[in-house]
Every structure is written in C-alpha cells, then in structure tokens.
Amino acid sequence: MRFIDCGVLEYRRALAMQERLATGIAAGNEEETLLLLEHPSVYTIGQGGNLDNLLIPSITIERINRGGDVTWHGPGQVVGYPLINLGRRGRDLHRWLHFLEELILLTLDVFGIKGKCYNNNPGVWARHGKIAFIGVGVRRWVSMHGFCLNVRPDLRQYGQINPCGIPDLPVTSMAREGCLLLSETAVKLELKKNFEQLLHERMPQRPSNS
C-alpha cells in the first residue's frame, strides 16, 4: 500500500494520475495507492448529475465518471483518491462506500467532531451541515475518485451550486465545527493512519485465485 501527498494538483492532472494508476493496478503492475491532495477551485459533476444544479450558468464544470451530482473542490479541502483493487477485496461497492464514511467518521472523532451518516445520501454530516462528500467509480474493479473533507475552505463556493443536487443543503467544515487551529497536513496524516488500519480490518485482501 502506497500513500502519496500530491500537495496542490490541478483537477485534470489528478484525474490522469488516477487513470494511469488504476490501469497499472488492474494489470498487477502498480501498488494500491491513496492520493491525498488539494485542488485549485473547480466544480465537478457525476455521470448522472443534473446541470440545473449549477445556479450560475457561466460556471465551468468537469463532468466525470463517478457517482453523485455536483460538488466543489478547492483550497482548504482535503481530497482523497484511493486506487484500491476491490476485485481482491470483496467486489462490494456498498461496502466500499461505507468504508469511506467510516474513515471520515474516525478521522473527525480524533479532532473532537461527532459525525453521522444517512443511508440515502453518501457522505458525512456534522452539527452544522455536510462536512464530507463521497463519490466513487470503478475501472476493472479498481476504485477511482473517493472523498473530500472540508477542513477550512471558503464555504461561500457552495452557494453557486446545489451541492449533491440538494437545494439549500447546509455545508460545514472542521473549522466551523470548532477546530480553528488546524492544518490540512495534520488531517492528511490522520487520514493516512486511519485508512491503513481500516483497510486491513474491514477489507482484507484475498488471495488472487479466490
């Protein structure tokens, strides 16, 4: 298992990196990898997303091969792209979504934030609104895309969209929930530690012939 901190990376470059790694993992030529990074400000929308959820028509948006509707990525938000061979870890997308939610819940708990999840909307909520967003895709049973966790972003960016396709969805951040003296680096380190632990416990790798 490999962890790469990409710093700040433009969205299309990160997508190309995911595609290259996913192809290599499926072929057995690359290690499973978790990319942790921040993006310059960008809006993305999933395959089934509705462009009516852009409240300002002039917004530039990236349409991508993940689930979910429209969301925003940008400074102050930690994004995680796990490239994991689900073909050797149960081939269960629902279980994978729950794994990512548990990862966020555990990480928030370390920083004193109580999160919760709802069955009908992937992601994690805190006291003041949705704090983490999840949207995944797979290629030959290798996971792509993943999660984003609001650490201390400019939450006004969400005012230009209906996040997740939900009008007036309240959105929050770790800073708004009370973690004022917080760095993205500290959050990345905790995500890395928790990811490694949970992957071993919840989704152990099976022999290649099973």
What burial class does residue 173 get, using C-beta atoms within 10 Å of its C-beta: 0-12 exposed, 13-18 middle, 19+ buried? Answer: buried
Q: Is 63 annotated as a binding-site member?
A: no
- Residue 3, SS3 per DSSP: strand
Q: Is 33 annotated as a binding-site member?
A: no
Q: Is 145 annotated as a binding-site member?
A: no
Q: Is 137 annotated as a binding-site member?
A: no
- CA 37 from chain center: how many Å? 10
CA dihedral 198, 200, 202, 207 (to 10 degrees): 160
Q: Is 172 annotated as a binding-site member?
A: no
DSSP 151: S
Cα→Cα distances 10→6, 26, 79, 181, Å: 10, 25, 12, 26
Alpha-carbon distance of 190 to 187, in angstroms, equals: 5
Q: Is 124 annotated as a binding-site member?
A: no
Q: Is 69 annotated as a binding-site member?
A: yes
Amino acid at 109: D
Q: Is 78 annotated as a binding-site member?
A: no
The catalytic site residues sit at 164
Give the annotated binding-site residues for substrate. 66-73
